[in-house]
Amino acid sequence: MPSQIQPLATAHPAGAPFSRCTPVKGWAAFAVAVMLASACGKKGPPLAPLQRVPAKVGAFAAHRADQAVFLTLTVPTANIGGDQPADVAVVELYALTSAAAPPDLATGRVPAALTLVSSLPVRRPLPPPPPVKEGLPPMPALPVEPGLDQGATAAFREAPTPALAQVAAASDPLAAPAAAVEDLDAAVDPAAALSLPLVYVPATSAVRRHYVAVAVSRQGRRGPWSDWQSVPLGATSGAPNVSAPAFTDTSLTITWAPAPDARVAPAPPAEGALDSRPFGPALAATRYNVYAAEAVATAATGAATRPAPLNEAPLTALTFGVTGVTFGAERCFVVRGIDALDGVNVEGPASAPGCVTPRDTFPPVAPAALEAVAGSALISLIWEAVEEPDLAGYLVYRGTAPGEPTEALTPAPIGATSFEDRSVTPGVRYVYVVVAVDSAVPVNRSVPSNRAEETARQ
C-alpha cells in the first residue's frame, strides 16, 4: 500500500503559486504550516521614529582684533548618521569668560555657565526644479526662506568690553574655591622651597573668552558640540605710527614705527657679559598686519566679517610693498600690531591711516638707436620705438653742429618713429635728438636720445 506521507517537495502542485500561508499535505507539511500560521496577517511592534540630529559644525574659528572678536564656522550639510540634507534650523553660538580651561560638553545639554550670544537661522534646502516640458511655461520659483544655506560659511562678531576680563577675574564661573591653609609650615615642603630660584615669578592664567557652537534640528535636538575656540582678553601693545607711503610708477611702500609699548626681541648679550636667562617666559616680538584703510573702516562699523590683511603672513619688518599704482587715486593703509597673549596671536588697535595720492612724475625712457640719412634736399631720421603704456609721442629737435639741438621741429608729439627734415640748407651739418613724452599732466619728458649728425645735400 503506498505511503500517505508525501515529500514536502512534491506536496505543492507544480505551477501553483506558493506562499508561506498556502496549505500543504502530510504531517511534515502540517507542522510547517502550524509554525507559519502564527505569522500570517499579524503585525509586529512599531519601529521607533528616526531621530535626525545634525552633525558637528565645521571650520569653527575665532580671531580677536583689538576689542572685536570675529567668529566663523561652516553650517553642517548632513546629520550624524551621514544622511543628507541635514535637519538643522539654527546654529547657536555660546560664550564663557573664565581663566580656567573650558569644560567638556555633553551632547544635548547646555551648562548654566554658558551664555547664548547668537542664534543663526538656517533655511531648508530647496529641491531641484523639475525639467521644463516643451510647450509649457516653467514652474514658478519656490519662495526662499531667510537664513544661511547648508554648507555656507557663517560669520559673527562680538565686542567684549575691556571690563569683562576684570569682572570675570572677580567672579569666575569655573573657578574652584581656594582651600584655606591653616598651617603654613606644614603646607611648605622645605626641599621644594630650596629648589625655587631666588627670584620667583609665579605663573598666572590669563582670562579668556571661550566660544563653542552647536547645530540644532527643527525638533530642538542639538548635535555634537564644536571644539572650543578661545581668545585672551588681556591688553595688547598700542597702535603703530604709519608714514605717508612712498610710491613709484608701479608700487607703493608702507612704513611704520612701532608703538612705544611694542614688544621687541631680546638684545644680544654684550661682549664679555656673563650668560643670563630672564625669569618667566620670554615675550615674542610684536609682528604686524597691513590692511587697506577702507576695509578696516567697514569692519569698524560692526561688520561680521574680519577684513583680510594685504600681507600673507605676519610681518617682522617695519615696511611692506604693494604692487599696482593708479595715478590720481588716493590710497590709504593702516597697520595693526600682533602680540602673543597666553600663546594666542591677538591683533591690537589699528594705526591712523597713512595716505598718499600718487602722481605721475616718471618720464618715459629715451628713444634709442637714432640714425640720420641725407637725401636730396632732406635728412631722414629713424629711431626705435619706446614701449610705455602712457606714451604720447616724440619730439624732434635740431641744431647746427657742433652746437646743441634746441630747435623744435615738431611743435606737437608725433606717433611715428621716423621723421623727414625738409627745411635743410645744402652743405650745412646738422645734429638731431629725439625726446619721448607721456600723457601725464604736466607732461613728463625723457632724456634726449643719442645725437645723430648728417650734412644736407643738394
**Domain assignment present for 140:** no
| CA atoms of 348 and 197, how far apart (whole Å) | 34
Q: Report the largest interatomic distance among the alpha carbons of the chain, rounded to a whole angstrom.
A: 151
The C-alpha R_g of the chain, in whole angstroms, comes to 42
Please give the C-alpha separations between residue 43 and each of 28, 46, 47, in angstroms, as whole numbers. 26, 8, 11
Whether 252 and 380 map to the same domain: the answer is: no
For residue 383, the enclosing domain spans 371-455
Beta-bridge mates of residue 90 = 121, 216
Over the stretch 303-343, which tens digit does the pLDDT of each residue have?
888 899 999 999 999 999 999 999 999 999 999 999 998 88
- pLDDT (average), residues 90-103: 92
On whether the pTM is more than 0.85, the answer is: no
- What pLDDT sits at residue 10? 37
The domain that contains 96 carries what CATH number?
2.60.40.10
* Termini Cα distance of the chain: 149
Among 325, 356, 387, the domain boundary falls at 356
Beta-bridge mates of residue 322 = 252
Among 323, 356, 389, the domain boundary falls at 356
Q: Please give the distance of CA 78 from its chain centroid, rounded to a whole number.
A: 25
Whether 82 and 212 map to the same domain: the answer is: yes
The answer to whether 213 touches 57, Cβ cutoff 8 Å, is yes
Whether 81 and 15 map to the same domain: the answer is: no
**Domain assignment present for 180:** no
Whether 57 and 166 map to the same domain: the answer is: yes
Beta strands in 324-425 (DSSP E): 331-341, 344-350, 354-356, 371-375, 378-382, 391-400, 407-408, 418-421
Percent of the chain predicted with pLDDT > 90: 58
- What pLDDT sits at residue 298? 84
Whether 73 and 215 map to the same domain: the answer is: yes
| CA atoms of 404 and 435, how far apart (whole Å) | 14
For 384, how many CA atoms within 13 A lie in the half-sphere containing its CB?
Answer: 10
**Domain assignment present for 135:** no
Whether 420 and 390 map to the same domain: the answer is: yes
Whether 64 and 160 map to the same domain: the answer is: yes
**Domain assignment present for 139:** no
**Domain assignment present for 44:** no
**Domain assignment present for 166:** yes
Whether 230 and 245 map to the same domain: the answer is: no
**Does position 201 have pLDDT exceeding 50, yes or no?**
no
Length of the chain measured in residues: 458
Q: Which residue has the higher pLDDT, 38 or 159?
A: 159
Overall domain count for the chain? 4
**Does position 380 have pLDDT exceeding 70, yes or no?**
yes
The answer to whether 452 touches 370, Cβ cutoff 8 Å, is yes
**Residue 379 — pLDDT band, cuts 50, 70, 90?**
very high
